[in-house]
Each structure stands twice: as structure tokens, then as C-alpha cells.
Structure 1
């Protein structure tokens, strides 16, 4: 699954916001209520009170890429791995690219809905903060 959002503002503030894994609660307002960090484990406390535990696999500042894997959450995942990457575009803005691999395939609709929703929240938040 692949989701891309194009923005019209410089890449640096986006990289800082997305790749600061400990600030997920600020990056995903209305979706994430709090974030707990324990080493490479990040627990997102969602707005509805549920939680998702993730492994932060890698943060590559040079490539502007964050890789994470859900290890426990509300969906019955057998496998999950995802990445966020910020790519510059030719007009001085940037693209936020989210790629997700998961099993079972029966969760495609639910995960696609979540990825689209959270991507829109991230885009709106970053655009608001850049003004």
C-alpha cells in the first residue's frame, strides 16, 4: 500500500516533524492522544483510548526516512512494516510518502482508510505549523 501527499512548503520542517518519532502525539492531533517511548518501542495512545505498540526500526536523517513496525494493536495483524519518507519535489515543496506492507490481505480496506486519514492529518498539521 502506498500513499503520497504533496505539500507546497520547504522540506526541512516536515523532516523534523515526521522523523521526531517521540512527537507522534503532536504530529497526529485528533488521532494520537499521547506517545510513550521505551528504547525503540513507541506506544501510541489513540484518541479513542486504544493503543498501538510499534518498533522504531530505523530513522535515517540523510534519506529523510522513518521505518516502523506495529507489534501490537487493535487490528489482527500477522505482519506489519511501514515507512514514512519525505522527498523534495521540483517546485521547492515536498512529498510525504507512506508505504505499508502487512498481512493478512483482508485488512486492506481498514488499513487503507487509516493511512489516508492519518496522511491527511499529518499534511494539515504540517501546513498549519509552517504558516
Structure 2
């Protein structure tokens, strides 16, 4: 299983970043505008539509408000994909968001990495980012 790891520095404080991340039914508005265009929440599952037309069904696995960590898995028989986000206070203010994705088969990793990088850019735009990271 391949692992893709990204860290995102944003200007939004840790509470605002966590609130945006946890609004799992509105990521197209609060977290990743332009990358995600629709989210439909159904119990512990959500259907996410991306700007490129890709639609995925995800199962929300865990939410830890103390550690500010959210985990989910894509429900797809051909590709196993598990991901987590965790929000930390930034060193110089703002927040540091850590996004870790595990995907199998390994051959799917480059495709996922490209989508994740597009998502990182959208999160930076949505939550504000004057710093690289």
C-alpha cells in the first residue's frame, strides 16, 4: 500500500480549520472550494463530486475532537483508499493540516497524488495561506 503525505500551512486558526474540516457535508463550501463541487451526507457515508467529474463514495471512520483528527475510507472494490486529516497549531500562527492517504494498488498512487495536490491548493485558497507548506 502506497502512502501519500502532505502538510498544509493555512492562515486560519486551528479552531476554524478544524470546524471547516469537520463540516463533512459541506467540504465544497468550507474546506476545498473549486476542488469539490458537491457533497451528499447519508449517515456515516458521504458521496463527493469533484470538479473533474469524479464521484466517490466514502465512509467516515473516526472523528477525534481532542486530537483534531478525522479519518475516512473510499468505498470502492477496485481501489482501497484510506485517509486521515489532523489539524495542529501552526508554528507562527494559523494551522498546520496533515493529510495522509494510503492507497492500493500502488499503481493508483500517482493518480491519487495528483488529485491530492489539487485538493491541497484548494484548501490553501479556501482557508487562506500566505505561507508555503
TM-score by length of 1: 0.86
Give a deviation string over 1:32-52, Cα, whole Å, max 9, x none. Answer: 221111110100122233311
Aligned residue number for residue 49 of structure 1: 53
What's the secondary structure of 2:19's corresponding residue? Answer: helix
Question: Aligned to 1:30, which of 34, 37, 55?
Answer: 34
1:22 Cα deviation from its structure 2 partner: 1.1
How many equivalent residue pairs?
Answer: 125
Closer, same or farther: CA 24–8 of 1 in aligned 2, 3 Å: closer
Alpha-carbon RMSD across the aligned residues, in angstroms, is 1.7
Structure 1 unaligned blocks of 5 or more: none
What's the secondary structure of 2:25's corresponding residue? Answer: helix
Structure 1 or 2: more helix by fraction: 1
TM-score by length of 2: 0.85
- Whole-Å separation in 2 of the counterparts to 1:112 and 1:49: 17
User: What does 1:1-131 align with in structure 2 at a 5 Å threshold?
Assistant: 1-26=4-29, 27-72=31-76, 76-77=78-79, 79-127=80-128
Q: Which has the higher contact order (CA 8 A, sep 6+)?
A: 2
Q: Which runs of at least 4 in structure 1 moved beyond 3 Å after TM superposition? A: none
